[in-house]
Chains A and B, each alone.
Chain A
Amino acid sequence: MAEIKLESVAKTFGTFTAVKGVNVTVDHGSFFVILGPSGCGKTTTLRMMAGLELPTSGRILLDGEDVTVLPASARDIAFVFQLFALYPHMNVRQNIAFPLRCQNYRRDEVRRSVEETARLLRIDHLLDRRVGGLSGGDRQRVALGRAIVRRPKAFLMDEPLGALDSEFRKLMCGELRELHDRIDATTVYITHDQLEAMAMADVIAIMNQGRVEQIGTPQEIYDRPASMFVADFIGAPPMSFLAVRASLQRGARSIEVDGVPLEMPQLFEDRAEGSLALGVRPENVSFADSAGLRGRVIGAEYLGTTQIVTVTTANGQIKARLPSGNAVRIGETVGLALRPDKLSLFDAVSGRALSSALYGGLHG
């Protein structure tokens, strides 16, 4: 167990800056997920935590100790790679025992730890097999076994489920989280799959282009996205945005969209005239004939119990999640009711969310 802290850590490769000043604290025993699109710097950040890459600037603290330039071997951290990186010239037992062998454990101790770990992961029947012939899931378990066998301070996992098929991923997600709780570990987990992140994380950090956009619990991130990027990245389908030009006063409770006043959470900051984006999640949109905001239905996607209906308005498209029992005709004009307490307002230029009652004055 350990606390990992990054203080304005940056990494530049040649002329390209992959990580631009990241501040992150991973608490003791938390399951911390870094989520972001491909190439946003997740792996680079994790590799710096592990000591496989030296930061260009900034500090890395492990349990309060500055480990910024400490080599990987001296950090007592385990790393699970995207490709598992099992040694093909060794069998399962030797693979799991490998981390212990370098620390001069006694033979019987190694044996005992390896067998205990294998039982924990339910791979004790595979111990004498070569790793080449194992299925993806078993390989994954061996890689985890190699990570947990020496009980390190923290686990760093770089998309460990990326190579598995979706059915198996769900199963492993559950197992991983359970394992984390059982051995009381601190885990940093990378993924670009938001469902995986939502399902497992205590805390999620959303990264984009080398920056951390938002850190919070899965619910915070879903309900109160700090930027248009986060709002758009999280949720399937993501948040819809209506483009609005307006000037607003601190304390405002409504905004005019295409001449129709819409109720929204109380605003905590002043806005001069400018481009704004009103964000609404599909489940907070419903059809109401009386509503002032009108739009034309241009598509419907059937999802079983619900359907996603796309409506185009003068200010942009809105997606609504409706029960699939509601009959919807393409081309019909409908009225749209948006749940007032769940609306987010963004600066359309910077993408930043404006401070409001929904955000509890979180920033601003």
Chain B
Amino acid sequence: MSTPITAHSVAEPSSRSKLIASFLVVTYAVITILPLLWIFLTGFKTPPDSIAYPPKVLFEPSVEGYVNLFTTRSRQTPEFLATLPPPQTWYERLVRSRNMVIGGPSKVVPRFVNSMVIGFGSTFLAVCFGTIAAYAFSRFRVPLADDLLFFILSTRMMPPIAVAIPIYLMFRHLGLTDTKLGMILLYTAVNVSLAVWLLKGFMDEIPREYEEAAMVDGYTRLQAFFKVVLPQATTGIAATAIFCLIFAWNEYAFAVLLTSGDAQTMPPFIPFIIGEGGQDWPAVAAATTIFFIPILCFTILLRRHLLRGITFGAVRK
């Protein structure tokens, strides 16, 4: 690979406008990142520090929030605590110093697993169905294609929660309430319309000649689809997957309505952490930080695909 030689273009923005643009971008980034940063920091504060006024920017970091997040504790009298054997682990010691004992692990891990299973499961299904449907709409003469596409889009014309009651009744009737399967199906149904529309645009961009070339070379349409179309569509599939996952990962209203135990995801779970006693903001912030990590990793992983214009220049227009 040789370094590309770039000529000075007349359309190149001036250094002043570049300066203004970078200033605006940086300002915007700071404004959006600041709350996230605050949550991240709060996760490492002690409960008193977290509600101190004026807010503390500099503080002594503590993992109390994380310990509280992963455990259930009960407050005990000093007399009772004195009768117990000395704490075995660093987290027991930390809890003991707050006059409490650990009752057991909290539900955060199973809730987090639920979020992963439901989020990624529904994303996978939505992208699969979306890809197949988009390919069909893009390549075949589907009867009433325009009406069907409009119908698919129309499912997004009101907030999904508007149909909460019928869905609640349906789920109860089918025994899908508070099941992972039910949530996966629900999120898939909501996301498929988005996936079809996004992916149809990407499919339309892929020249038919690619598959046709593969088909005259002896491949069946299905083989051509897997060997030629799918690799070309990676960019679109990655983008669609990110959008679908963000929706399924963050969805709150249906999760509150339809899950309470076995299938509860993180969004309805996090408010429960606040606790009965004092408000445990560090634990909430810790949960939010952990909740944020998978989607961040997923996006960073796929970013390479998003930016890689693999079809660029291969077909002469």
Contact = CB atoms under 8 A, between A and B. Distances in A.
Interface stretch (A81-89, A180-188, A224-232, A271-279): A81-89
Contact of B212 (A72, A99, A136): A72
Interface string A127-152: 00001110010010000001000100
Interface majority SS on B: helix, strand, loop or mixed?
loop
Interface in B275-317: 310-317
B305 to A, nearest CB: 12
Nearest to A85: B209
B228 A79 contact: no
Given A88-B311, A88-B314, A102-B223, A83 B207 contact: yes
B317 to A, nearest CB: 8
A192 to B, nearest CB: 17
A295 interface: no
B207 A73 contact: no
Interface string A87-107: 111000000001100110000
Contact of A85 (B210, B218, B231, B312): B210
A73 B218 contact: yes
A85 B212 contact: yes
A87 B210 contact: yes
Given A83-B315, A89-B232, A102-B223, A73 B210 contact: no
Query: Which of B216, B231, B232 has the most C-beta atoms of chain A within 10 angstroms of its own C-beta?
Result: B216
A75 B218 CA distance: 8
A354 B317 CA distance: 44
B12 interface: no
A318 interface: no
A77 B312 CA distance: 28
Contact of B316 (A72, A73, A75, A83): A83
A52 B217 contact: no
A84 B316 contact: yes
B218 A52 contact: no
A50 interface: yes
B214 interface: yes
Contacts of B310: 88-89
Contact of A52 (B212, B232, B313, B314): B212
B215 A52 contact: yes
B27 interface: no
B219 A163 contact: no
B217 A146 contact: yes
A93 B147 CA distance: 44
Nearest to B317: A83
Contacts of A50: 216
B220 interface: yes
Given A52-B212, A52-B216, A103-B218, A163 B231 contact: no
Nearest to B209: A85
A75 B314 contact: no
A98 B210 CA distance: 12
A204 B313 CA distance: 34
Which 5 pairs across A and B sit closest by C-beta, in order of nearness? A88-B314, A85-B209, A99-B217, A79-B216, A163-B316
Given A79-B213, A84-B315, 11 more contacts: A71-B220, A77-B216, A79-B212, A81-B212, A82-B209, A83-B315, A85-B207, A88-B311, A88-B312, A89-B232, A99-B217
Interface of A: 50-52, 71-73, 75-79, 81-89, 98-99, 102-103, 131-133, 136, 139, 146, 150, 163
Interface of B: 207, 209-210, 212-220, 223, 228, 231-232, 310-317
26 contacts: A50-B216, A71-B215, A72-B212, A73-B216, A73-B220, A75-B216, A77-B216, A81-B212, A82-B209, A83-B209, A83-B315, A84-B315, A85-B209, A85-B210, A85-B212, A86-B314, A86-B315, A87-B228, A87-B314, A88-B310, A88-B312, A102-B217, A102-B218, A146-B213, A150-B217, A150-B218
